[in-house]
């Protein structure tokens, strides 16, 4: 069981729809401090300055190693790292923009997560009983044809998450993943065939899952229904 009371939480993509909702929910749960990170420091400050010293705005580009390293210098006391930053270009594999979309989605949704974890891991180990939460998608587990390259990037991060969980547990770091369907944020402005969940509802379930120590968190009914019929069963080979 994890208590949020004394936790110092870093959220990537904090100025997005889900990120902003996470900040609000974590404040409600009395965390000690939040590092709200994103691409534009002015945007972050305009959103979060009302919280005073409780929320520290930090400029961060997860595709830029130097930017990540600068973030580490500021945020080395982090105890919960939430890799939430993500992009989605709605590109099927057979399309003119497929390769460019796939390349950037991989940079943000996958390589950026690898870089964040590797740059923070020594500090998370030192800070004791730390947690990494990777925000994934039901698209990590199924193919949505019109989102082909996005699904590929989220599947890669699902494999990353499953691969490092045991290794990092030996360092006292818990690794969790969040799998969800469509969420009503600016990232998904279009009509969808399935219900879009509200960010405020999703983040409550995410935080409940973190408190319970769940390896995998399914914060919406669509994903819960899918997992009930198709449980994750990861096989490992030496």
Q: Say which residue, 93 or 162, is predicted with more confidence.
A: 162
Residue 187's pLDDT band (boundaries 50, 70, 90)?
low
CATH of the domain at 90: 3.40.50.720
Asked whether residue 210 is domain-assigned, the answer is yes
Asked whether residue 235 is domain-assigned, the answer is no
Q: What is the mean pLDDT of residues 71-78?
A: 98
Asked whether residue 237 is domain-assigned, the answer is no
Asked whether residue 121 is domain-assigned, the answer is yes
Asked whether residue 218 is domain-assigned, the answer is yes
pLDDT tens column, 14-70: 999 999 999 999 999 999 999 999 999 999 999 999 999 999 999 999 999 999 999
Asked whether residue 224 is domain-assigned, the answer is yes
* pLDDT of res. 188: 52
Asked whether residue 206 is domain-assigned, the answer is yes
pLDDT tens column, 121-132: 999 999 999 999
Identify the domain containing residue 24 by its residue range. Answer: 8-229
Q: Say which residue, 151 or 196, is predicted with more confidence.
A: 151
Residue 214's pLDDT band (boundaries 50, 70, 90)?
very high
- pTM, two decimals, is 0.95
In total, how many domains does the chain have?
A: 1
Asked whether residue 2 is domain-assigned, the answer is no
Q: How many CB atoms lie within 10 A of CB 134?
A: 24
3-class DSSP string for 18-63: HHHHHHHHHHHCCCCEEEEEECCHHHHHHHHHHHHHHEEEEECCCC
- Per-residue pLDDT at 186 exceeds 70: no
- Per-residue pLDDT at 191 exceeds 60: no
- Alpha carbon dihedral 95, 99, 101, 102, in 10-degree steps, equals 120
* pLDDT of res. 144: 85
């Amino acid at each position: 069981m994890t208590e949020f009371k004394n936790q110092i939480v870093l959220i990537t993509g904090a100025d997005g729809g889900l990120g902003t909702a996470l900040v609000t929910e974590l404040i409600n749960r009395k965390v000690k401090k939040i590092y709200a990170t994103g691409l534009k420091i002015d945007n972050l400050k305009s959103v979060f300055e009302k919280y005073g010293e409780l929320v520290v705005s930090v400029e961060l580009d997860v595709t830029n190693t130097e930017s990540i390293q600068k973030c580490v210098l500021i945020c080395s006391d982090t105890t919960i790292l939430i890799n939430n930053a993500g992009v989605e270009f709605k590109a099927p594999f057979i399309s003119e923009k497929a390769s460019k979309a796939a390349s950037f989605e991989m940079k943000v949704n996958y390589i950026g997560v690898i870089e964040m974890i590797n740059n923070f891991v020594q500090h998370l180990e030192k800070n004791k009983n730390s947690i990494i939460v990777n925000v994934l998608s039901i698209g990590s587990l199924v193919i949505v044809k019109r989102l082909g390259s996005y699904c590929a990037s989220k599947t890669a991060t699902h494999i990353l998450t499953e691969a490092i969980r045991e290794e990092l547990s030996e360092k006292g770091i818990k690794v969790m993943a969040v799998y969800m369907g469509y969420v009503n944020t600016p990232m998904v402005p279009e009509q969808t065939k399935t219900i879009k969940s509200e960010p405020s509802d999703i983040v409550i379930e995410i935080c409940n899952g973190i408190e319970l120590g769940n390896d995998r968190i399914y914060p919406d009914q669509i994903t819960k229904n899918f997992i009930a019929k198709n449980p994750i069963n990861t096989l490992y080979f030496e």
